[in-house]
Structure 1
């Protein structure tokens, strides 16, 4: 083995020499991004030659760095030297960040000249010195893999990516600070290829399609009706590179795709991909065996006493939610039967006990089921899932996020990260950095850090601390908002789980939302603080409050067949748990019926389904199961909650 390693190193060294590559020894603190910027290459270039770097960098690692075929225009690297200092006495509410913005220096620059700040935080009354720098530029010509490109009219991300033969994610990696919306005249980085190698976008002859995550040639064949050979004939680069996420493909003009939205830079997508009506393609009408595990806890009920049962249903939140979900699931069975899908349902009462989960597993063989929905509660699901993974039967988590998503598990609730990222992307398409304000309590520093990275020019207001104890008092002074809002539109992120802070801030914002000032309230994490009795819904509606959500609200004016049927049967409108029971059961049955009983085959990322209040688009994890990535962006509008993005 030792000699095999030596031989591999020799071959790598020979290849590097023969192709005129450079080498770089990784230093402490360096990342793939910092190294790629130093050599003006992309992280993808480095990873292609150093696959081991995918697992992380360490100081003992030597990387092979590619050179470019074409030289770039001269660039002017800059250096700076200290030419003096300015003395500053720290005032109340001043931070290292605010001082760095005020004096145009970095936080590290300030700390470097005030060593005590490495050990203790900045405090009112501290006397520090702020360095003043002289900047020196020197012109150099470097061999590199990128060059500057001026965006032309009608060009968005996908057009430029196609033109230079890269994927949209690769273009975004080349330009970490690129505007979400490209404007004519923007200067961006592109691969340094010769002008005659650039590809033209021929709108009059072809349509263009962007490859989705985990999409292979078979999926494209089903979607586009084109074989691998036909795609490679239109896109010769496929033979060398294969399919990649974000790659833009030329397709025949008669294949209808949604036109690219050049205003917001969205990638072109196939018409109908966003929502797939599975009821139009039923292949398997055999009876589906479904197991449903719910925490009824029937052992506590005296079925001979109707009054006692009614009282318990009124007071027991878990029982009420369970019955609502179950009623929605039963309605789904009835709806599916009307299109020829029959179901054999077996319901298990988990009693919300780990011991009962073990007992159910001991008494039953789940190998014969087509799908298992539940257990309902997270701790019960986490006990059940590892015991059932060897059966390969699809296991659906209906309302909880499991600790581990095994290869047969379907997590129907999108992750917090997915919700957060969808919200950030939505706001970034619709706002300017200088028009963002962040308000948060002290426990949401992680959210503040994320928002600061996305909106570096945003103004930050944190809740006040108790001077003696240092604990969060969960309020801000009204004067904190004086002079914060300029004319025009301002996006305000409010990050808190504290009802008192939420209600007071929302009231203050509503007072500033007048005249030429438009304030739009947003949050990355919608929770009960925004629904407390002290929060005025009129204020939320006035502020056009928007947030990411797992589900939407059905339209009361046009409720749809399920809502009407549910109301006829039970005498009330379905709540979100009843709707979720219906949506999950319908989705499982229709996916099974579309692929001759194989749920996995119907769960590629190009299939997105939507029912009453929920939608599902699953992404298969590399070392795990399926996670739903379909999210709504909703907002308050005239005291109604409407869908504005997804």
Structure 2
């Protein structure tokens, strides 16, 4: 036997042993048989079969041997029914026994005795004339449904249900093609018909991880720091089923690895409190600085004062939200205060007005005035929401609606870590972002760092790199390139070089493909400046994490249309934030006991450009933990599914 055949036999032997060890069976495809028929026969799903037999997706050829996994559904009860058709005569020979005759005619010893009653009293002897019964045997299979109906429980998303019934999210979606992106409390869906005692409960003391494509136990060990035996111990049945794409695994608690899923709640469908709510809006209009002598003077004052500009834009969105809430039957009394962007004015406003009956305060905008308002309102336990700031002290009555920069960075880093196809990571930075570059290097210890060139005489940063600097760091295949800077010229320089280096595979010249995806852990105005080419950013599929996403102007958005009709202009991000935040805050207090309780009742809400998923600090207030991952694609910015 040559070496090739020997190795092949070993592979087949190991494959056979693996199949047996994992309780799989095999099926030889018959002519005309469909994948649906095979799945139905073994009480598994089509995706179960495709997961182990990917070639079957292309073509199901007769005589192909498929590996069939163990069914998770209840097994049907099979009853054998024997119908007597007649008898066959048999004369007993020497050394024949009831056991050998039963085996020869494929019947039981009891069947032989039943139709030869003398054998109950006497032993079988040579020469005995027997009548051997001939049976027609049929199988009666008790019908068992592969699926059963399940009622979605409060706060349950797709991954929780998939984990409960031991399937992947994709399999759950295949069972329920019309289930939608967001599951509603009380919604009826189909799940595998498994025994109740085999259902798995989600334990909040653990984290849960979704298996990615091409991910095996070795990659999981590198990523999660867990041996195969440890993962299998936490996930009963995994040793038999093996890893599958989209499978949900229980792992020790981790802040780094958690499943984010679309469990958004539409609060407008859940309004229970129609009593008038009182809210306060605190914004730095600084009307004391506005020159009202003429219309032109007023316009100039507005243009020059960035605080007044931001306040007016935000407040325009607030007004439209309150008008929208009226159509839902929600009554709101709004107190509007001009903080003048002065700490003393904030203190005076709270001292001179009755805030004990206020349900929630939105604003002020700046950190020092916001902290003063939050600290004074603590005595009344009045919740206060920060519209735009992240550098705020989280008192126990504070809601920080803008996700932190650390949350943005971790979202992007975790997304890249989850990409198992990435072969190379490069970090390009200027001297002002050396610390950021080093932090990223610690996250990706195999990454290469490229620094902007410095003036040889002065040592000052010149904010550029050469083509050779980048080219030396690239590898054939997929490259992720971080660009960390706030310099517009450096962004323009680096992106133009990177875009020019992308190559497609060319077999005629033996050229390997070279893919480049641009990312940044610190999105800022330098990337959107006029000197930066959007074509280059689109070609590089520029990815970044954002606190909000831009609405699509091509969509027939009711809010945008109403805003344009009312204000004769397109709403900017401040106006949209005013609308989204006001809608969310008021809907939360009319669907829950108060804003604090809404954190549990409404884990994730989303509006035009912003989403809100508040979490509470152990000793402190509440912070928005939900961010978007977006990318440039065909000169537009689109959301990336995480």
**TM-score between both structures, scaled by the size of structure 1:** 0.61
Instruction: Find 1:411's aligned residue among 400, 413, 420.
Output: 400
SS class of match (2:428): strand
Query: Contact conserved, 2:560 with 2:571, CA < 8 A, in 1?
Result: yes
Of 362, 369, 373 in structure 2, the residue corresponding to residue 373 of structure 1 is 362
Q: Does 2:601 align with 1:612?
A: no
CA distance in 2, matches of 1:392, 1:525: 35
> C-alpha separation between the residues in 1 aligned to 2:250 and 2:209?
15
State the Cα distance separating 1:316 from its structure 2 match: 2.8
Q: Deviations over 1:283-308 (max 9, x none)?
A: 11111100000111111223342121
Cα pair distance change 1:308/1:196, threshold 3 Å: closer
Q: 1:305 aligns with which of 287, 294, 318?
A: 294
Answer yes or no: is the 8 Å Cα contact 2:425–2:481 preserved in 1: yes
Cα distance in 2 for partners of 1:165, 1:279 equals 30
Match of 1:583 in 2: 580
Q: Does 1:487 align with 2:487?
A: no
**Kept after mapping to 2: 8 A contact 1:164/1:191:** no
Q: Secondary structure of the equivalent of 1:279?
A: helix
605-614 or 346-355: which moved more?
605-614
TM superposition shift of 1:401: 1.8
Distance 1:630 1:185 in 2: 30
| Pair 1:348–1:268, CA change in 2 (3 A) | closer
Q: Separation in 1 of the partners of 2:533 and 2:424?
A: 25
Matched, 1:199 2:236: yes
Partner Cα distance (1:164, 1:352) in 2: 47
Question: Per-residue deviation at 1:267?
Answer: 4.6
Establish whether residue 548 from structure 1 lines up as the match of residue 545 from structure 2.
yes
Structure 2 matches for 1:304-343, cutoff 5 A? 304-343=293-332
Is contact 1:433–1:455 with CA below 8 Å preserved after alignment?
no
Deviations 1:514-534 (A, max 9, x none): 333221110011001112221
Contact 1:604/1:619 (<8 A) preserved: no
Question: In structure 2, what is the equivalent of residue 217 of structure 1?
Answer: none
Q: Conserved in 1, the CA contact under 8 Å of 2:495 and 2:536?
A: yes
The residue number in structure 2 matching 1:601 is 597
Aligned to 2:37: none
1:413 deviates by: 0.7
SS in structure 2 at match of 1:494: strand
Q: Taking structure 1 as reference, are residues 184 and 388 closer, same or farther at Cα in structure 2, changes over 3 Å only?
A: closer
**Whole-Å separation in 1 of the counterparts to 2:253 and 2:393:** 26
1:268 and 1:403 map into 2 onto residues whose CA distance is 26
Within-5 A mapping of 1:37-436: 169=207, 182-183=215-216, 188=221, 189-190=226-227, 199-200=236-237, 267=259, 273=263, 275-430=264-419, 432=421, 434-436=423-425
SS of the equivalent of 2:518 reads strand
- Please say if residues 382 and 402 of structure 1, whose CA atoms lie closer than 8 Å, have aligned partners that are also in contact: no
Superposition TM-score, scaled by structure 2 size: 0.61
**1:498-537 superposed matches below 5 A:** 498-515=487-504, 516-537=513-534
Among 620, 625, 632, the alignment partner of 1:636 is: 632
Partner Cα separation in structure 2 for residue 155 and residue 361 of structure 1: 53
Q: Which has the larger radius of gyration?
A: 2
Q: In the aligned structure 1, how far is the partner of 2:232 from the partner of 2:576?
A: 56
Aligned to 1:604, what secondary structure does the other structure show?
helix
Cα separation, partners in 2 of 1:467 and 1:593, compared to 1, 3 Å? same
CA distance in 1, matches of 2:378, 2:310: 27
Q: Deviations over 1:230-289 (max 9, x none)?
A: xxxxxxxxxxxxxx9679xxxxxxxxxxxxxxxxx97596xx62x111111111111110
Residue pair 1:546, 1:636 contacting (<8 A) in 2 also: yes
1:539 aligns with 2:539: no
Q: Distance in 2 between the 1:426 and 1:193 partners?
A: 24
Q: Which has the higher mean CA deviation after the structures are superposed, 500-509 or 429-438?
A: 429-438
| Secondary structure of residue in 1 paired with 2:356 | coil
Q: Distance in 2 between matches of 1:463 and 1:472?
A: 7
**8 Å Cα contact 2:425-2:446 kept in structure 1:** yes
Q: Are the aligned partners of 1:163 and 1:199 in contact in 2 as well (CA < 8 Å)?
A: no
Separation in 2, partners of 1:526, 1:352: 27
Going from structure 1 to structure 2, the CA distance change for 1:280 and 1:186 (only over 3 Å counts) comes to: same
Q: CA deviation at 1:643?
A: 0.8
- Does the 8 Å CA contact 1:521/1:544 hold for their aligned counterparts? yes
Cα distance per residue 1:357-398 (max 9 Å; x no partner):
222123123111000001111221122221221211110000
Distance change (3 Å), C-alpha of 1:192 and 1:489: closer
Which residue of structure 1 aligns with residue 450 of structure 2?
Answer: 461
Listed one character per residue, the Cα deviations across residues 34-56 of structure 1 (whole Å, up to 9, x for unaligned) are xxxxxxxxxxxxxxxxxxxxxxx
Distance 1:194 1:473 in 2: 50
C-alpha contact (below 8 Å) 1:210/1:267 kept by paired residues: no
Aligned to 2:618: 622
Question: For the residues of structure 1 that align with 2:358 and 2:249, how far apart are their CA atoms?
Answer: 37
Provide the C-alpha distance between the structure 1 equivalents of 2:312 and 2:232, rounded to a whole number of angstroms. Answer: 65
Cα distance per residue 1:419-473 (max 9 Å; x no partner): 0000111122225454211101122223222221222222210112333443322
**After alignment, is 560-569 or 186-195 more displaced?**
186-195
Q: 1:567 to 1:186 in 2, by over 3 A?
A: closer
Q: For the Cα contact (< 8 Å) 2:215–2:420, is it kept in 1? A: no
Q: Is the 8 A contact 1:433 1:458 kept in 2?
A: no
Q: Closer, same or farther in 2 for the Cα pair 1:521/1:209, shift >3 Å?
A: closer
Q: Tell me the CA shift for residue 341 of structure 1.
A: 0.8
Once the two structures are overlaid, the 10-residue window that deviates more, 451-460 or 193-202, is 193-202
**Residue 482 (structure 1) shift:** 2.7
SS at match of 2:629: strand
- Contact 1:605 / 1:618 at 8 angstroms: preserved in 2? no
SS in 2 for 1:645: coil
Rounded to whole Å, the distance in 1 between the matches of 2:491 and 2:254 is: 39
Gaps of 5+ in 1: 1-153, 157-161, 173-177, 213-243, 248-264
Aligned residues: 429
C-alpha distance in structure 1 between counterparts of 2:460 and 2:231, whole Å: 60
Task: Measure how far apart 1:183 and its partner are.
Answer: 2.2
- Cα 1:352–1:441 change in 2 (3 A) is same
Q: CA RMSD in A?
A: 3.5
The answer (yes or no) to whether the contact 1:171–1:190 under 8 Å persists in 2 is no
